[in-house]
């Protein structure tokens, strides 16, 4: 488990291996989520980076009879 220290200005440094694994860049925005007694940092990604994410997904599903056009 990694540990970081909160500075007097309430700043933390994200460890290098985590930054690399997550592909974080300087100036990138992260969303801060408070869950009970923990904090989550979720990197915000551009819509452009999600392009092609669903490529190859099987779209051949059967519709229910009352849903057909």
Could you tell me the residue range of the domain that residue 36 belongs to?
Answer: 17-45
Is residue 31 in some structural domain? yes
Put simply, whether the predicted model's pTM sits higher than 0.85 gets the answer no
Q: CA-CA distance, 20 to 14, in Å (whole number)?
A: 10
**DSSP assignments along 1-69, one per residue:** -------TTS-----HHHHHHHT--TT--EEEEEETTEEEEEE---GGGGTTTTTT-----PPPGGG--
Query: Is residue 33 domain-resident?
Result: yes
Q: How many distinct structural domains can be found in the chain?
A: 1
Q: Evaluate whether residue 3 is within a structural domain.
A: no
- Write out the chain's pLDDT in tens, 69 residues: 889 999 999 999 999 999 999 999 999 999 999 999 999 999 988 777 778 878 888 888 887 888 766
For residue 35, being part of any structural domain is answered with: yes
Q: Taking a C-beta distance cutoff of 8 angstroms, is the pair 31, 41 a contact? A: yes
- Which residue is associated with the tokens 């933390």? 12
């Amino acid at each position: 488990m990694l540990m970081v220290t909160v500075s007097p200005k309430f700043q933390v440094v994200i460890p290098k291996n985590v930054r690399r694994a997550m592909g974080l860049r300087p100036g990138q925005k992260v969303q801060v989520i408070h869950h009970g007694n923990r904090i989550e940092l979720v990197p915000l990604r551009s819509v452009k980076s999600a392009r092609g994410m669903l490529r190859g997904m099987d779209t051949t599903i059967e519709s229910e009879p009352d849903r057909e056009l």
